[in-house]
């Protein structure tokens, strides 16, 4: 029934509008946006914030049984540690904002590289660990926060001076930017885009390895985007450069922040080449090996646990990156697609 004077189109929009205003995600993102841009607002929430600790970019972690934790210190504990080590409470302003909880408790990260490492570890019953350890053992939420924190802290360490004037740059309180007051240039954190591509010829997929990889590990092709390139152009160029193949078609899969060795954005793609033109020509300056693998071989590799110390490096005992890496996702996607392709 149509009611005269009633806007039915507007009525249908009400649920979506209600969702928008009630959405926790939107509320959190707008809250973080305010803290990033408003120094006064950021300063006001220090006392209600939680802090991840780092020491020369190594995150502070605690082992609890078989579980690895990235503890968050509250502001009073953070200030107590600073004062105990003869540091001003104002050191808190050296921290960077990395996120917030569902209840909008802000999360900060502070690097204590100038303080005595062993003393802090002993006091807090933990250790400043290698980031690779965190990659395998931390819960996903904490892992993402730790990786973002380390990337942001590293960027600030590497951008203390203006590239044009040579004058010192100043961090805003949240750490979302640095400003050269001499030239008024604003610098924002950046990370390098990298394409990672799984190449296939219909029935096989191409996996490669570099000399620096653990023994026996093969993965998808990867390379940095050049200035001025689109993602599609980067995929085609990298495949041509590294294995001498010409891409016929490609499609995007997913992306992942990758913190090793420095912060990059891994952009995962699938690419196909013509089976009649699938002879590999390796660029030995980039790769140690590149091989075509059958579905059966790849399925066996996915069931095989990574063994960084294994000596056997032939095609029957190779292994692929762990499930935490986006290369693993690409390989899994290819395997699933093969299962539904008609024989």
How does pLDDT run across 135-177, given as a tens digit for each residue? 888 988 899 999 999 999 999 999 999 999 999 999 999 999 9
**According to the model, what pLDDT value does residue 19 have?**
46
**According to the model, what pLDDT value does residue 315 have?**
44
Give the chain's radius of gyration (CA, Å). Answer: 25
**According to the model, what pLDDT value does residue 335 have?**
97
Report the DSSP beta bridge partners of residue 197. 221, 269
Q: pTM of whole model > 0.75? A: yes
pLDDT score of 214 more than 60? yes
Cα–Cα distance, 167 to 98 (Å, whole number): 27
**According to the model, what pLDDT value does residue 55 have?**
97
Structure tokens at 290: 């590149």
Whether 114 and 54 have beta carbons less than 8 Å apart is answered as no
pLDDT score of 309 more than 60? no
Please name the residues in contact with 250: beta carbons below 8 A apart, sequence gap of 6 or more: 197, 232, 235, 236, 269, 270, 271, 272
Q: Nearest to residue 195, comparing CAs of 271, 246, 127, 138? A: 271
**According to the model, what pLDDT value does residue 45 have?**
96
Cα–Cα distance list, 334 to 130, 210, 236, 255, 341 (Å)? 32, 22, 19, 16, 11
**According to the model, what pLDDT value does residue 167 have?**
97
**According to the model, what pLDDT value does residue 1 have?**
42
Q: How many CA atoms lie within 13 A of 86 on its CB side?
A: 3
Structure tokens at 105: 């408790």
pLDDT band at 17 (very low <50, low <70, confident <90, very high): very low
Q: Which of helix, strand or coil describes residue 58?
A: strand
Range list of H helices, 85-230: 117-124, 131-137, 140-158
Burial call 274-286: b when 16+ CB within 10 Å, e when fewer: eeeebebeeeeee
Q: What element of type H or E holds 169?
A: none
Whether 52 and 60 have beta carbons less than 8 Å apart is answered as yes
Going by the DSSP 8-state scheme, the letter that residue 189 receives in this structure is -
pLDDT score of 273 more than 50? yes
**According to the model, what pLDDT value does residue 13 have?**
45
pLDDT score of 319 more than 80? yes
**Phi, psi (deg, nearest 5) at residue 109:** -130, 135
Average pLDDT, rounded, for the chain: 90
Query: What is the average per-residue pLDDT within 187-208?
Result: 96
Structure tokens at 58: 């190594």
Q: What is the secondary structure of 255-308 as a DSSP string?
A: EEEE-SSS-EEEEEEEEEE-GGG------TTT-SEEEEEEHHHHHHHHHSPP-T
Q: What element of type H or E holds 66?
A: none
Full set of structural domains in the chain with CATH = 24-147 (no CATH), 192-340 (3.90.79.10)
If you search the block for the tokens 């979302």, which residue do you land on? Answer: 176
Is the link from the previous residue into 261 a cis peptide, with omega within 30 of 0?
yes
Whether 197 and 271 have beta carbons less than 8 Å apart is answered as yes
**Phi, psi (deg, nearest 5) at residue 144:** -60, -40
Query: What is the average per-residue pLDDT within 276-283?
Result: 92
**According to the model, what pLDDT value does residue 22 have?**
56
What percent of the chain is modeled with pLDDT above 70? 90
Taking residue 339's Cβ as centre, other Cβ atoms within 10 Å add up to 9
pLDDT score of 197 more than 90? yes
pLDDT score of 186 more than 60? yes
pLDDT score of 312 more than 60? no
pLDDT score of 275 more than 70? yes
pLDDT score of 234 more than 90? yes
Identify which has the larger pLDDT, 221 or 276.
221
Q: Which of helix, strand or coil describes residue 208?
A: strand
Taking residue 174's Cβ as centre, other Cβ atoms within 10 Å add up to 25
**According to the model, what pLDDT value does residue 342 have?**
62
Whether 272 and 247 have beta carbons less than 8 Å apart is answered as yes
Cα–Cα distance, 74 to 70 (Å, whole number): 13
């Amino acid at each position: 029934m149509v009611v005269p004077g009633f806007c039915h189109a507007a009525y249908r929009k009400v649920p979506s509008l209600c969702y928008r205003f009630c959405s926790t995600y939107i509320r959190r993102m707008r809250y973080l946006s305010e803290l990033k841009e408003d120094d006064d607002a950021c300063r006001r929430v220090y006392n209600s914030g939680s802090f991840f600790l780092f020491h020369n970019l190594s995150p502070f972690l605690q082992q609890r049984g078989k579980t690895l934790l990235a503890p968050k210190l509250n502001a009073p504990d953070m200030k107590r540690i600073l004062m105990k080590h003869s540091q001003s409470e104002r050191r808190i302003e050296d921290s960077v904002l990395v996120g917030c909880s569902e209840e909008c408790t802000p999360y900060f990260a502070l690097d204590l590289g100038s303080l005595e490492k062993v003393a802090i570890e002993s006091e807090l019953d933990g250790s400043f660990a290698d980031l690779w350890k965190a990659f395998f053992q931390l819960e996903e939420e904490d892992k993402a926060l730790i990786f973002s924190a380390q990337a942001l802290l590293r960027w600030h360490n590497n951008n203390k001076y203006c590239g044009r004037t040579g004058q010192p740059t100043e961090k805003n309180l949240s750490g979302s930017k640095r400003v050269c007051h001499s030239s008024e240039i604003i610098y924002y954190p950046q990370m390098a885009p990298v394409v990672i591509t799984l190449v296939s010829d219909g029935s096989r997929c191409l996996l490669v390895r570099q000399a620096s990889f653990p023994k026996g590990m093969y993965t998808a092709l990867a390379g940095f985007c050049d200035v001025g390139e689109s993602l599609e152009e980067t995929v085609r160029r990298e495949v041509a450069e590294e294995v001498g193949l010409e891409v016929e078609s490609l499609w995007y899969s997913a992306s992942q922040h990758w913190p090793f060795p420095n912060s990059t954005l891994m952009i995962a793609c699938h690419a196909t080449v013509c089976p009649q033109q699938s002879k590999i020509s390796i660029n030995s300056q980039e790769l140690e090996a590149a091989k075509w693998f059958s579905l059966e071989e790849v399925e066996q590799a996915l069931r095989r646990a990574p063994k960084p110390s294994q000596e056997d490096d032939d095609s029957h005992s190779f292994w692929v990156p762990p499930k935490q890496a986006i290369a693993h996702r690409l390989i899994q996607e290819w395997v699933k697609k093969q299962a539904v392709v008609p024989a």
